[in-house]
Every structure is written in structure tokens, then in C-alpha cells.
Amino acid sequence: MKNDRGYGVVKMGGVHRKAHRVMWEMKNGEVPKGKELHHKCEEKRCVNPDHLECLTRREHVEKHPGMAVWSNGWKTHCKHGHPYNAENTIWRRNGARDCRICNALREAKWRKKHKGVAIMAEEEVEQRVVTGVEIDW
């Protein structure tokens, strides 16, 4: 069986897991924190642990510079011009990142529309996110 991205998957204990990761862990132990597996053979369904290597996200991106899926990793600002820095970046479990300011603005607009809560000025939301001040909704 494979997932929607073309990786082989197995069901273990009622949970679907990437087959290549299971095989890596059986041979080498857990993938170290901050690392991800790269298929040296470029075949997503391959489960041979000898065809895998542990890389940082940056190293993995460098292996695939032309792939659109990785191109966002090189961006320094979101599409609205806010910087991707430590204070303003939300990292998702899947490795994707979001702009904290844009996320707060989306939430404020949603709350105004659905809850009738007054929206703060964009500058105030941005300032609170940048300075780490909690936004009380």
C-alpha cells in the first residue's frame, strides 16, 4: 500500500507508518531529532535501509533544489512581506511553516466574522506577535 505522496506504508498497531522509516528504525534505531530520511535511490517506495540516509532539512533541500515542494524553504518572507524568523515562524509537524503574524490576522478576521469579536488593528496584532505578547481573544 502507498500513501497519497507515493511512499509505501504499513499498518502497525492500528497506525499507518511510512514503510521506509520502519525499516530504517529496525536496522538503525530511531531517526535522530532534527533529521529526516532521504532516499538515495530516489524511489519513494523503496524500503532498503541501505538506500536511505539521515539528513537535516537544509541538507535534504539541497539534494532537490529544483523541486517546487522544497522551493518555499528558501523564502525569507511570507507572501505578505513578514519575515520568517524565530519569533514569527510557526513550524508544523509536517515540516511546513506558517507566518505567525498572518496566522494571528486570519484568526482575528475569523473571530470578527463568526463570533462578533472586534478585530484589532493589523499593526497591533503584528506588534503583539513580534514582542511575544499574548493576544486575548
pLDDT (tens digit per residue) in 96-115: 789 999 998 888 888 888 88
Q: 20 and 67: one domain?
A: yes
- How many domains does the chain contain in total? 2
Q: Note if the pTM is more than 0.75.
A: no
* Domain closes at, from 46, 73, 100: 73
Per-residue pLDDT at 25: 95
What one-character-per-residue DSSP string does 113-126 give? HHH-PPPPPHHHHH
* Domain closes at, from 73, 90, 120: 73
Provide the residue range defining the domain that includes 12.
1-73
Question: In angstroms, what CA-CA distances link 95 with 15, 27, 58, 102, 129?
Answer: 20, 25, 11, 18, 21
pLDDT grade for 23, boundaries at 50, 70 and 90: very high
* Domain closes at, from 49, 73, 97: 73
Sign of CA dihedral 41, 45, 49, 53: positive
